[in-house]
Amino acid sequence: MKLAFSTLGVPGLPVTDVLRLATTHGYHGVELRAHPEEPVHPGLTPEERVEVAARFKAAGVEVLSVAGYVRVAAPGEDGPVVDEIRALLGLARDLGAPYIRVFPGGTPEQTPEEADRAAARRLGTAARYAGDVGVRILLETHDSHRTGADAIRILGLVGHRQVGALWDVMHTWLGGEQPVESFAALSPHLGYVQVKDIASAEDTTPLPLGEGILPLADCVEVLSRHGWDGWLCWEYEKRWYERAADLPGLLGPGHAHLSRLLNESA
């Protein structure tokens, strides 16, 4: 498996500094948070996109994913949602990223069936463009659909190879699923896996990997046992928890922890 980290852990950091952190600490890739407050987002000009892609190539670091904030199940018209997905897909294509990330984003005002149908309809429409540009859309286990069982309801309706799953191990655990259950549901659609650690279900402040209670060893063991050879991406949510320790000083120990788990499960 290859290791990456998310720029959510170093909000606003210039691309050059992100790449320095990746190469210094041995990460193969980076998940780029595609928000207007970040250096990389869908508003970049064609020239700026070429420059970002060239910097990653020169550093020997892959752009794993463009992590957007589209909520595919949210109430409203389909057009703006599909347009936002297409913008992320275009950015990912230009940067050479194989994936984009979207959220479910259903609301309490919807029935689960309404949310599922809205998400599947929009993802199915966007899948055709995703196929044209060679990028997969990954639905993260998050918010209204935080478990593998929740996400598969949508993915089963879509039934398109360009639409898959992003397994956030915190959300499936908070939803009551064991890693073996999450993997069983998501494995036919799995793009990559987001790892993290927290103190408890009540305190989700990010912790260094291995210092919390999330079943990371079990997740890696399940993946290894089934011969899954994709990406593990550390999503350290510093952006939302200002009092959390800074990520740069944790990247080395985090890489060592994940490498140890991989060796133990081999």
Give, as one character, the DSSP assignment of residue 145.
Answer: B
Give the pLDDT score at 180: 97
How far, in Å, CA of 21 to CA of 91, rounded?
23
183 Cβ neighbours under 8 A, 6+ residues apart: 148, 167, 190, 219, 222, 223, 226, 228
Instruction: Name the average pLDDT for the chain.
Output: 97
Mean pLDDT over residues 136-165, rounded?
A: 97
Nearest to 72 by CA among 62, 83, 58, 61: 83
pLDDT at 265: 84
Q: Is 85 left (phi over 0), alpha (psi -120 to 50) or beta?
A: alpha
200 vs 165: CA distance, rounded Å: 25
Closest by CA to 152, choosing from 121, 184, 194, is 184
Tell me the two tokens of residue 215: 């079943």
Res 64: pLDDT = 98
Q: What is the per-residue pLDDT across 213-258, written as a single tens digit (0 to 9) for each?
A: 999 999 999 999 999 999 999 999 998 998 999 999 999 999 999 9
CATH number of the CATH domain containing 67 = 3.20.20.150
- Counted residue by residue, the chain has a size of 266
Taking residue 55's Cβ as centre, other Cβ atoms within 10 Å add up to: 15
Domain count, the chain: 1
The whole-number average pLDDT for the span 34-46 is 96
What's the rounded mean pLDDT across residues 132-150?
Answer: 97
Q: Does the model's pTM come out above 0.85?
A: yes
List the domain range (segments joined by +) for residue 228. Answer: 2-265
Q: Residue range 78-90: average pLDDT? A: 98
